[in-house]
């Protein structure tokens, strides 16, 4: 049995027992990206003396636009959490979660400074899958993905992606101390996190750090080329009120100013009729050599990849019916008329952004691949008429409501058990028990 005090390459760390797991929270996997290290690729953390108390999560990264403002954020955010089921076995499979949020919002830290609750509580998922689960923060919006390097080369690109690589490096090098199998690491993520996985699957620094991938509802084509990224940068700097000559000031702008400028940038991108995320990673020919949708198919790691039946309902349902024809023209959708037109518009967006690109990757994939379509709706979602929308599978998969929908009814618990058995078996063996496309 793994002890609560473990020895990493940086020093000893003491965890706690919670919800049937041995947990280590708030472990640093990189130096704090502040001061001269802000807007740069992460560096390995310093070793520490004594026993590090890994008993509480840390802050989330600075947020951009989103449905809510994360109340507990800090630029010093590069920490991870480990959930190990309290079982006798050693060398457990490892699953590393990469959260989504349009590259702009989200986190794996605490819900608030005075809370013990994390944004992603993975104890049940770890117990039911019999895997060690790791969650971590990566930098978002301007600090994670804004292209400032053409203004000042000391500002590096795609820092958020390199944060992910740093976290995976920590896991590969240290997870054995927690009872995990360092040779059996599965990355899994949703939305922007899933799209990042597609980029990592052919990134030379990332490829040696994991063995399998689960890609859930990836925004497959949400990447900027160099020229597009410069236009986004120019607009963002205007909104945040910083000129190129004073670019160093961006290291210390307030979280509130970042949030408001990011909200304006999102509005600009939507006004352009572009469905990509405002802070999408940059295809620079070096860190990301081409669109991951073109490159990922050349990977040979076992892959589980799927989408939700009505992904776009999350976005389309927010548009008033009277404005839907205008929005359809803005986003170049084919005209729909009559009863159910809004639902058919949503189907178009789901197909073009999520389902179609995912299946194209799967059909060309070099390695073993299994696909699924998630169609289940919890009773609460079914009653609301919201449909099987983007991210609606997460509460069912993780076994708690996540602020999205209750999951404590017998029907939903049964579906959750099924999903966790599939994800866990894939993490253990790199295989799924079906051919073709599985409907969940």
DSSP string, 215-228: EES--TT--EEHHH
Average pLDDT (202-211) is 95
Eight-state DSSP code of residue 210: -
**What are the tokens at 125?**
């998922």
Which one from 191, 222, 229, 293 is the annotated catalytic residue? 191
DSSP string, 340-370: THHHHHHHHHIIIIIIHHHHHHHHH-SS-EE
Residue 293 annotated among the catalytic residues of the structure:
no
Give the DSSP H/E element, type plus range, for residue 329: helix 324-330
Residue 67 annotated among the catalytic residues of the structure:
no
Tokens 């620079």, residue?
Answer: 284
Cα 177 to its chain centre, rounded Å, is: 25
Residue 9 annotated among the catalytic residues of the structure:
no
Per-residue model confidence (pLDDT) at position 338: 73
Task: State how far the Cα of 185 lies from the Cα of 211, in Å rounded to an integer.
Answer: 5
Per-residue model confidence (pLDDT) at position 153: 94
Which one from 203, 217, 390, 393 is the annotated catalytic residue? 390
Residue 305 φ/ψ, nearest 5 degrees = -140, 135
Whether residue 70 is predicted with pLDDT greater than 60 in this model: the reply is no
Which one from 222, 311, 392, 393 is the annotated catalytic residue? 311
- The residue ranking higher by pLDDT, 351 or 142, is 142
Task: State how far the Cα of 284 lies from the Cα of 287, in Å rounded to an integer.
Answer: 6
- The residue ranking higher by pLDDT, 284 or 42, is 42
This prediction has a pTM of 0.95
Per-residue model confidence (pLDDT) at position 327: 63
Q: In this structure, are residues 141 and 64 in contact, taking their beta carbons and an 8 Å threshold?
A: yes
- Residue of 47, 51, 50 lying closest to 4 (CA atoms): 51
User: Residue 91 to residues 180, 291, 292, 418: CA-CA distances in angstroms?
Assistant: 4, 35, 32, 24
- The residue ranking higher by pLDDT, 351 or 430, is 430
- Residue of 312, 349, 318 lying closest to 332 (CA atoms): 349
Give the CATH superfamily of 1-220: Alpha/Beta hydrolase fold, catalytic domain (3.40.50.1820)
């Amino acid at each position: 049995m793994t002890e609560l005090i473990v020895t990493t390459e940086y020093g000893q760390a003491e965890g706690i027992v919670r919800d049937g797991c041995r947990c280590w929270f708030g472990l640093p996997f990189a130096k704090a990206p502040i001061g001269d290290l802000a807007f740069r690729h992460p560096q390995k953390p310093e070793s520490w003396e004594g026993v590090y108390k890994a008993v509480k999560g840390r802050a989330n990264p600075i947020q951009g636009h989103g449905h809510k403002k994360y109340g507990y954020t800090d630029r010093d955010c590069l920490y991870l959490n480990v959930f190990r089921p309290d079982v006798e076995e050693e060398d457990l499979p490892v699953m590393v979660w990469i959260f989504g949020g349009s590259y702009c919002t989200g986190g794996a830290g605490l819900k608030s400074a005075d809370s013990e609750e994390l944004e992603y509580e993975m104890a049940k998922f770890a117990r039911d899958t019999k895997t060690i689960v790791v969650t971590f923060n990566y930098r978002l919006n301007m600090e994670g993905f804004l292209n400032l390097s053409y203004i000042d080369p000391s500002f590096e690109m795609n820092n958020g992606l390199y944060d992910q690589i740093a976290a995976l490096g920590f896991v590969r090098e240290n997870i054995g101390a927690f009872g995990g199998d360092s040779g059996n690491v599965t990355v899994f993520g949703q939305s922007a996190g899933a799209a990042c996985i597609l980029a990592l699957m052919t990134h030379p620094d990332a490829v040696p750090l994991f063995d399998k991938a689960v890609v859930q509802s990836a925004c497959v084509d949400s990447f900027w080329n160099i020229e597009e990224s410069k236009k986004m940068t120019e607009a963002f700097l205007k909104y945040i009120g910083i000129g190129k000559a004073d670019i160093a000031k961006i290291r210390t702008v307030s979280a509130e100013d970042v949030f408001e400028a990011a909200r304006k940038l999102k509005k600009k991108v939507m006004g352009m009729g572009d469905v990509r995320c405002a802070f999408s990673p940059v295809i620079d020919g070096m860190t990301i050599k081409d669109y991951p949708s073109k490159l990922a198919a050349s990977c040979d790691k076992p892959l589980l990849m799927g989408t939700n039946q009505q992904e776009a309902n999350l976005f389309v349902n927010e548009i008033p019916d009277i404005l839907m024809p205008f929005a359809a023209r803005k986003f170049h959708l084919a005209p729909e008329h009559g009863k159910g037109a809004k639902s058919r518009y949503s189907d178009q967006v789901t197909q073009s952004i999520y389902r179609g690109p995912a299946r194209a990757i799967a059909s060309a994939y070099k390695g073993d691949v299994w696909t699924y379509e998630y169609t289940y709706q919890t009773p609460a979602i079914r009653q609301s008429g919201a449909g099987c929308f983007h991210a609606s599978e997460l509460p069912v998969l993780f076994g708690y409501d996540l602020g999205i929908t209750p999951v404590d009814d017998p029907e939903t618990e049964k579906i959750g058990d099924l999903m966790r058995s599939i994800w866990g078996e894939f993490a253990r063996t790199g295989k799924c028990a079906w051919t073709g496309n599985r409907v969940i």
